[in-house]
Amino acid sequence: MSVIDFNALPDSARIWIYGMNVPLHSEQVADITARMNLFLPQWTAHKRELSTAWNLTYNRFLMIGVDESSMTASGCSLDKLIKYLQALEQRIGVEMVNSASKVFYRGHSDSIECVSRPVFKSLVKNGTVDEETVVFNNVIQSVGELRTGKWELPMRTSWHFKAFPVGVLASE
């Protein structure tokens, strides 16, 4: 099956980003590398080959891309991916599949932090996080969005700003 270099994906390629609740150490990175290189070549939709790529960024974000110009990822194929990633979570001891309930941002020391939404709301309220805090928009849909700076961006330009409005929370 077709696994390509992540940088070779077209801007229109679909992307899924899974944030890890903790940074990965070298053994976990090696395990993810081996497992993704086993899974993606055989990942199909309706028994047809998918043109896929993956990347591990900051030892914290697993990015999976599919060039859907010839074949789109189906609901069943996405279910297979999620089940595979859930098994991988168990194997390496990190949470990634349920990362949508988490907020990832850069702390004051530029470290990547992962907190629950209620904790992030309290960080906004107490001023630890503000509109200039860099957040990770893990719900982007395309590789083009990743390449044009819509993934790692100041909170004021992200959906986070509407969900956690700085001025409103500070006055509550």
* Mean pLDDT of all residues belonging to the chain: 88
Given a cut of 90, whether residue 102 has pLDDT beyond it is yes
- Choosing from 40, 60, 92, the residue where a domain stops is 92
Given a cut of 50, whether residue 171 has pLDDT beyond it is no
Claim to verify: residue 87 and residue 116 sit in the same structural domain? no
- Choosing from 40, 69, 92, the residue where a domain stops is 92
Number of domains in the chain: 2
Claim to verify: residue 84 and residue 107 sit in the same structural domain? no
Question: Whole domain around residue 28: which residue ranges?
Answer: 2-92
Claim to verify: residue 83 and residue 110 sit in the same structural domain? no
Lowest-pLDDT choice from 70-79, 106-115, 122-131? 70-79
- Choosing from 92, 114, 142, the residue where a domain stops is 92
Claim to verify: residue 54 and residue 75 sit in the same structural domain? yes
- pTM, two decimals, is 0.90
Residue range 121-130, pLDDT digits in tens: 999 999 999 9
According to the model, what pLDDT value does residue 12 have?
A: 93
Claim to verify: residue 43 and residue 70 sit in the same structural domain? yes
Phi, psi for residue 50 in degrees, rounded to 5: -105, 140
**CATH number for position 33:** 3.30.70
Claim to verify: residue 62 and residue 135 sit in the same structural domain? no
Claim to verify: residue 123 and residue 146 sit in the same structural domain? yes
Claim to verify: residue 79 and residue 6 sit in the same structural domain? yes
Claim to verify: residue 86 and residue 124 sit in the same structural domain? no
Claim to verify: residue 140 and residue 165 sit in the same structural domain? yes
Given a cut of 60, whether residue 169 has pLDDT beyond it is no
109 exposed, middle or buried (CB, 10 Å; 0-12, 13-18, 19+)?
A: exposed
Residues of the chain with pLDDT > 70, as a percent, come to 92
Q: Which residues contact 39 (CB under 8 A, 6 or more apart)?
A: 81, 84
Claim to verify: residue 83 and residue 129 sit in the same structural domain? no
- Judge whether 92 and 24 are in contact, CB under 8 Å: yes
According to the model, what pLDDT value does residue 70 have?
A: 73
